A and B are shown apart, each in its own frame.
Chain A
Amino acid sequence: MRVLIADDDPISRRMLEAALRRMGHGVVVTSDGQQAWESLQNSAVRLVIADWMMPKLDGLELVRKIRLLEKHNYIYTVLLTSRSEKQDIIQGLAAGADDYVTKPFDLDELLVRVRAGERIVRLEEELAARNEQLRRLTLIDELTQIGNRRAFDGTLARMVEHCRRYDHCFGLLMIDIDHFKAYNDSFGHTSGDETLRSVAQLIVGNIRTADLAYRYGGEEFACILPETDEAGSIRVAERLRAGIEGTGIQHPGNPPSGVVTVSSGVACFSPESAGSANDIVRLADEALYRAKDAGRNRVVIYGREVSTAVQG
């Protein structure tokens, strides 16, 4: 654990540093509150031992500032003080200190208090890691391991907001596997799942680095293409369509090709056309239905068909 010491007494600093190093901690040593505050900005300090009385920024103010930090993991704070009146202790804890030690500090006492702090810090770290893991789980589709509908909705909303504010555009593709029900009926759901995974991988492998792919639901996928206009979006959609057809996954229930194919609806967000996230999804969805109506295995933008498979 990385521990920061803030104390203007060089001997006290040196003793603390040596004791903490003996315990195996990494130590950052500072001689006043201001210096401590600056060091906290660029180091992963998890526990602070601060003298109450210090020049520039005292321990109490330092603790208050630490408690207002939001980006960091929890920082456990211990105040060192020669004040041991009940009022002082209450004031220190009320400022946000987790613990206090009266001076001259007893090394054994301080070290067990540091150990108690370390337990809290570790618990908080575990909790934060577990939360991050859960957050990821809620955003990932378990079957295909790409983003799920919830992730899509979140990103799309942010994208619309961003593009509206900064005058940028982006493309949206809605992609649906043709006659997927028939595929499941012929080969069973296990093969169906396998195919969903393959299509997801083909999509991920054929989009550009900045593009984002999601499983929208069932056999429907969605791609968000940042900074991409109509022509660019159509190019990506067509590459995906051709790539999936070219893979040649057998699908007798999908004439005339007899392999797995997809239909795509394309919509573009531009600041002039504006509209909400729902509007752009609706446009892409409408285009997708037109692609289905027009015979599948093709890309359609706003009802305008832009590419069709070469009939072979």
Chain B
Amino acid sequence: MTTTETCPVHLDEGLHRAGDDREFFRELLQMFAEEASSQVERLGKAVESGDLQQVVRIAHCLKGAASNLAAGPVSEAALELETAARDRGGDEIAPLARRLEEQLEVLYAFIREFE
């Protein structure tokens, strides 16, 4: 495991949220992975077509789901994207979306390893 800053999930907190049931937490993480990959696909299209409302919606959902699992970095990246798409728009969106996808990749790797 890497340092705390880059750890994709705050494990103690995440487990606690799942009633300290490791098996259940694994189920939730896998649910998230499935859910997130379909969202990311839609996010890509929304960013491409400049549909900011849709970007806000998707980022908002990912932020909520990730924070339920104590997946801090994904949640924060999603929040940044949501805020930018809502308040500012423009050039920041594509890089922030990419940043969110990168964080998600790190989280997927964590989920694949998690037992």
Supposing A104-B64, A104-B68 touch, asked if A11 and B28 sit within 8 A by C-beta, the answer is yes
- Is A82 among interface residues, defined by CB-CB distance under 8 A? yes
| Cβ < 8 Å to A, chain B residues 1-26 | 16-19, 21, 24
Residue of A nearest to B34 (CB): A10
Chain A residues with Cβ below 8 Å from B19 are 18-19, 22, 107
Chain B residues with Cβ below 8 Å from A9 are 61, 64-65, 68
A79 to chain B, nearest CB (A): 15
- Is A14 among interface residues, defined by CB-CB distance under 8 A? yes
User: How would you classify the secondary structure of chain B's contact residues: helix, strand, loop or mixed?
Assistant: helix
Number of B residues with CB within 8 Å of any CB on chain A: 18
Are A103 and B18 in contact (CB-based, < 8 A)? no
Residue of A nearest to B75 (CB): A104
Complex Cα–Cα for A14 and B34 (A): 14
Are A15 and B18 in contact (CB-based, < 8 A)? yes
| Cβ < 8 Å to B, chain A residues 102-133 | 103-105, 107
A305 to chain B, nearest CB (A): 80
Complex Cα–Cα for A46 and B17 (A): 24
B17 to chain A, nearest CB (A): 6
B68 to chain A, nearest CB (A): 5
Count A/B pairs, Cβ under 8 Å: 42
Are A15 and B67 in contact (CB-based, < 8 A)? no
Are B24 and A11 in contact (CB-based, < 8 A)? no
- Is A12 among interface residues, defined by CB-CB distance under 8 A? yes
Chain A residues with Cβ below 8 Å from B17 are 15, 104, 107
B60 to chain A, nearest CB (A): 8
Are B28 and A82 in contact (CB-based, < 8 A)? no
Are A18 and B18 in contact (CB-based, < 8 A)? yes
Complex Cα–Cα for A90 and B9 (A): 34
Binary per-residue interface labels of chain A (1-23) against chain B in the complex, 1 for a CB within 8 Å, 0 otherwise:
00000000111101100110010
| Cβ < 8 Å to B, chain A residues 13-56 | 14-15, 18-19, 22, 53
Chain A residues with Cβ below 8 Å from B69 are 11
Chain B residues with Cβ below 8 Å from A103 are 64, 67-68
A6 to chain B, nearest CB (A): 15
User: Residues of B with Cβ closer than 8 Å to A?
Assistant: 16-19, 21, 24, 27-28, 31-32, 35, 60-61, 64-65, 67-69
User: Residues of A with Cβ closer than 8 Å to B?
Assistant: 9-12, 14-15, 18-19, 22, 53, 82, 103-105, 107
Closest 4 CB pairs of A and B: A104-B67, A11-B65, A104-B68, A11-B31
With contacts A11-B65, A103-B68 known, what are 4 further pairs, Cβ within 8 A? A12-B64, A15-B17, A103-B64, A107-B17
